[in-house]
């Protein structure tokens, strides 16, 4: 018990000692820090994530989340004797956002925030179902329950807190190759969309099992203003010295089964341009082939029976006969024999 003391700046406290009550004066300066410490501990216990009775919940976007309250209301006990309030604490100056309220068994919508209209349903144990999960739903929620006693007085039960984490898996990455100024340079782009939160993106050499350094990679994230999910684009620029497979991996700690979401692309080093020596060798080879073909044609043409007969007549016939005998008939098989 505490009572008013006669001294200024002092407070009177009754403490048992040897079966008798004695007065002990405690300075106010020593009492104030104690109450402040208790208040800080209570606030930290209730609102700091990871302390107190905060329950972590992870849910995928567009699904339904169950926010547990679990006050174990018996099946024979009606919610008519209860007041249930689900709230989302905001910034200090903005108060709390009301997402659901139940007063004497009746749902109240007067103070419900418009972001939760037609999205909430209360379970018998005061847990709350929240449908059509969005990225904006992420945060801390508090469940406050009051029970009416037989005398009509409401008694507050211990509040419970839930930390809701919203996730969304990224799409299968797609790798595309763009034209580069140099034939030995590769410009590769990796695209993936619709994920949350930001993932880790890794480019690596599948053949050598080595990740490319960050200096080779430029990655950008664009957040959709409506869904608040992320679309990513990553550019890899490198010089090719040999043929290998490259992979783009989008990794999220909330979706470990998709850590190996990889699309492989085989990159082949282009053939280098031929030098002057090779060009001259090819030119000489082609010219030699043309000369050989022409010589073979002329040899066959001059050695044919028709050519021989014509040469014989031109050699032994008078000039007049050589001028008039213009046609040379191919001798038949009997003449050849």
- Domain co-membership, 75 together with 134: yes
Rounded CA-CA distance 209/222 in Å is: 29
The pLDDT tens digits for 61-109 are 999 999 999 887 766 677 888 999 999 988 665 678 999 999 988 899 9
Q: How confident is the model at residue 59 (pLDDT cuts 50, 70, 90)?
A: very high
Please work out, in degrees rounded to the nearest 5, the angle formed at the alpha carbon of residue 238 by the alpha carbons of 214 and 169: 50
User: How far apart are alpha carbons 123 and 88 in whole angstroms?
Assistant: 18
In a domain, 335, yes or no: no
Q: What is the DSSP string of 95-152?
A: -EEEEEEEETTEEE-SS--GGGTT-EEE-TTS-EEE-S--GGG-EEEEEEEEEE-TTS
Is residue 235 included in any domain, yes or no?
yes
Q: Which residue has the higher pLDDT, 175 or 283?
A: 175
The residue among 138, 167, 196 that closes a domain is: 167
Extract the tokens encoding 214.
């960050």
Q: Report the alpha-carbon distance of residue 194 to residue 171 in Å, rounded.
A: 7
**CB of 102 closer than 8 Å to CB of 194:** no
Q: Does 131 lie in the same domain as 115? A: yes
Residue 135 sits in the same domain as residue 95? yes
Q: Residue 12 pLDDT more than 50?
A: no
307 assigned to some structural domain: yes
Look up the domain containing 307 and give its range: 276-322
Rounded percentage of the chain residues whose pLDDT exceeds 70: 63
Residues contacting 145, CB < 8 A, separation 6+: 69, 71, 82, 83, 84, 85, 126, 156, 157, 159
Query: Average pLDDT in the 178-199 region?
Result: 85
Instruction: For residue 92, report the phi and psi dihedrals to the nearest 5 degrees.
Output: -55, -40
Tokens of 33: 């820090």
Token look-up 């470990």 returns 256
Mean pLDDT, rounded, for 24-36: 35
Strand 160-167 to strand 54-60: parallel, antiparallel, or no bridges (unpaired)? parallel
302-319: per-residue pLDDT in tens?
A: 666 665 565 555 555 555
151 lies in some domain? yes
Q: pTM of the entire structure?
A: 0.60
> Both 110 and 37 in a single domain?
no
Q: Does the residue 333 lie in any domain?
A: no
182 and 80 in one domain?
no
Number of domains comprising the chain: 4
Q: Is the pLDDT of residue 3 over 70?
A: no
Average pLDDT over residues 228-253: 88
Clarify whether residues 184 and 240 are in a common domain.
yes
The answer for residues whose C-beta is within 8 angstroms of residue 82's C-beta and 6 or more apart is: 73, 102, 104, 105, 126, 145, 146, 147, 148
Residue 284 pLDDT: 74
User: Among residues 149, 167, 185, which one ends one of the domains?
Assistant: 167
Those residues whose C-beta lies under 8 Å from the C-beta of residue 35, and which sit 6 or more positions away, are: none
The band of 16, judged by pLDDT with boundaries at 50, 70 and 90, is very low
Q: What integer is the mean pLDDT of 140-154?
A: 92
Residues in the chain: 337
pLDDT-wise least confident of 56-60, 168-172, 294-298: 294-298
**110 domain residue, yes or no:** yes
Same domain? For 64 and 150 the reply is yes
User: Of 136, 167, 198, which marks where a domain is finished?
Assistant: 167
Mean pLDDT of 35-41: 35
Confidence at residue 273, expressed as pLDDT on a 0 to 100 scale: 53
């Amino acid at each position: 018990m505490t009572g008013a003391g006669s001294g200024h700046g002092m407070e009177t406290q009754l403490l048992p000692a040897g079966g008798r009550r004695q007065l002990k004066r405690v300075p106010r300066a020593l009492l104030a820090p104690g109450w402040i410490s208790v208040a800080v501990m209570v606030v930290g216990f209730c609102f700091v994530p990871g302390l107190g009775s905060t329950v972590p919940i992870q849910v995928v976007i567009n699904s339904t989340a169950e926010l547990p309250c679990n006050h174990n209301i018996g099946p024979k006990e009606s919610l008519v004797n209860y007041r249930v309030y689900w709230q989302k604490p905001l910034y200090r100056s903005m108060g709390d956002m009301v997402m659901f309220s139940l007063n004497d068994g009746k749902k109240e919508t007067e103070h419900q925030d418009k972001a939760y209209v037609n999205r909430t349903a209360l379970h018998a144990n005061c847990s709350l179902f929240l449908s059509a999960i969005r990225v904006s739903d992420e945060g801390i929620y508090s469940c406050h329950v009051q029970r009416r006693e037989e005398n009509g007085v409401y008694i507050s039960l211990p509040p419970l807190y839930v930390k809701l984490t919203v996730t969304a898996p990224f799409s299968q990455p797609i790798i595309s190759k763009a034209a580069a100024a140099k034939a030995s340079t590769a410009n590769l782009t990796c695209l993936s969309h619709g994920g949350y939160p930001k993932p880790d993106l890794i480019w690596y050499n599948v053949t050598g099992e080595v990740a490319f350094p960050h200096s080779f990679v430029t990655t950008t994230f664009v957040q959709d203003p409506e869904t608040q999910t992320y679309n990513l684009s990553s550019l890899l620029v490198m010089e090719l010295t040999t043929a290998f497979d490259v992979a783009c991996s989008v990794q999220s700690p909330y979706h470990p089964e998709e850590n190996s979401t990889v699309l492989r692309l085989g990159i082949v080093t282009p053939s280098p341009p031929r030098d002057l020596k090779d060009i001259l060798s090819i030119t000489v080879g082609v010219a030699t082939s043309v000369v050989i073909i022409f010589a073979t044609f002329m040899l066959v043409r001059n050695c044919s029976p028709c050519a021989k007969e014509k040469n014989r007549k031109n050699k032994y016939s008078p000039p007049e006969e050589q001028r008039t005998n213009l046609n040379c008939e191919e001798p038949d098989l009997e003449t050849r024999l």
